Amino acid sequence: MKDEQIQLSHGSGGRLTHDLIREVFHRHLSNPYLDLLSDAAVLPESRGRLACTTDSYVIQPSFFSGGDIGKLAVCGTVNDLSMVGAQPLYLTAGFILEEGLPLSDLERVVSSMAETAKAAGVQVVAGDTKVVERGSADKIFINTAGIGWIPGNVDLSPRHIAPGDRILISGSVGDHGMAILSQREGLEFNTPLASDCAPLNGLVQSFVHHQGLRMMRDPTRGGLATSLVELADASGLGFEIEEEKVPIHEGVRGACELLGLDPFYVANEGKLIAIVSREEADSILATIQRHPLGETASLIGRVVETHPKKVVLRTFLGATRIMDMLTAEQLPRIC
């Protein structure tokens, strides 16, 4: 299979599609739901409210320091489910492949998806493959949709956010975006940059039942700043953020300075923002810090009644400025 390439016939629905499904997808992703090969997977009745989400992944390059498009396609969707307090259970996967893609690349991506799904405790229960002519797509695009169940006692909503609440970040920001950008541009730094791409459901399970948890969001495209603006807007309240409290890897800070980018607007793929009550902030922060994906978690700000729906940043120098959403395209195809 080493020299084989994806052909248009692999997407025809006929014999070659079946061969590809059997030899690549099922070999790595096999489970009782997927293996039935019916038009739709039949799953058990839900225990609790359903959560569902979708994301398409078009990241370029497909393989990068810290992950690949397959790992990302599992993590991104697992994380979106986790943010509403759901236990992620099932994924669907839709592949759009460019004619001529080396089969070995596809196999590497699918194998990485399988490994990440296993680590996150989710199953890929339905899939689809389309092939388009050379030049009609860029190598490989993946869509995943995810389904999870929300335990009865979990109720996260921007309506619960109140003045005095604290704002936590689970670790350093900007790692994913800067790893991709530096690789794409062929930049080398003393400190190698790696994507933070990781499934957050384990971390979330460690504190999701805390009464003081109001709301979560994972700051992906648009970075920390855009997610904070979205949360402030949804809550109707103001946020105050202390710049010096936001963890940033030295390498990321240096690369951002060199390239004139603001790390607060650079994408993350393994971080979460949590809004928590003032009373439980220390306890939840400590719980997050005990998890391997939250060791450098930090309390970065608080919710205020003044300047509703605005996020104000207090800088290193003591000045304040209003943070806006990302307005320009900072980094295309970052996820």
Could you say which residues in the range 229-288 bind its own copies, by CB under 8 A? 230, 234, 265, 267
Nearer to its own copies, 218 or 280 (CB): 218
CB of 293 to its own copies, least distance (A): 17
**DSSP helix/strand/coil, 214:** strand
Instruction: Name the minimum Å distance from CB 51 to its own copies.
Output: 4
Three-state DSSP at 217 gives strand
Q: At its nearest, how many Å lie between its own copies and the CB of residue 154? A: 10
Compute the Cα dihedral for 192, 198, 202, 206 and give only its sign: positive
How near is the Cβ of 226 to its own copies at its closest, in Å? 6
Q: Which of residues 180-219 bind its own copies (CB under 8 A)?
A: 216-218
What residue type is 147 in one-letter code? I
Q: Which of residues 3-62 bind its own copies (CB under 8 A)?
A: 7-9, 11-18, 37-58, 60
What is the rounded distance in angstroms from the CA atom of residue 223 to the CA atom of residue 5? 36
Q: Name the amino acid, one letter, at 129.
A: T
Site string for its own copies, 311-330 (x = CB under 8 A): -------------xxxxxxx
**Cβ closest to its own copies, residue 77 vs residue 251:** 77
The one among 24, 29, 81, 237 contacting its own copies by CB under 8 A: 81
From residue 159 to residue 178, the character string flagging contacts with its own copies as x (rule: CB under 8 A) and all else as - is --------------------
Question: What does the alpha-carbon distance between residue 78 and residue 71 come to, in Å, rounded to a whole number?
Answer: 11
| Residue recorded with tokens 């648009």 | 222
Q: How far is the CB of 212 from its own copies (least distance, A)?
A: 19
Which C-beta is closer to its own copies: that of 19 or that of 279? 19
Bridge partners for 54 per DSSP: 145
Strand 123-132 to strand 140-150: parallel, antiparallel, or no bridges (unpaired)?
unpaired
Beta carbon of residue 196, minimum distance to its own copies (angstroms, whole number): 16
Cα dihedral sign for 92, 98, 100, 101?
negative
Residue 12 CB, nearest approach to its own copies (Å): 5
CB nearer its own copies, residue 152 or residue 292: 152
What is the nearest approach in angstroms of its own copies to the Cβ of residue 60?
A: 8
What is the Cα–Cα distance from 257 to 253, expressed in whole angstroms? Answer: 6
Q: Which residues fall within 8 angstroms of residue 189, CB to CB, at 6 or more apart?
A: 182, 251, 254, 255
- Given the structure tokens 């290193």, which residue do they identify? 316
* Tokens read off for 3: 């020299």
CA 41-30-63 angle, to 5 degrees, is 105
The 122-161 site mask, x for binding its own copies (CB under 8 A), equals ---xxxx-xxxx-xxxx--x-x-xxxx-x-----------
Residue (44 or 292) nearer to its own copies, CB: 44
Name residues contacting its own copies, limited to 89-128 (CB under 8 A): 90, 92-96, 125-128
Q: By rule CB under 8 A, what count of residues binds its own copies?
A: 87
Longest dimension (CA), the chain: 66
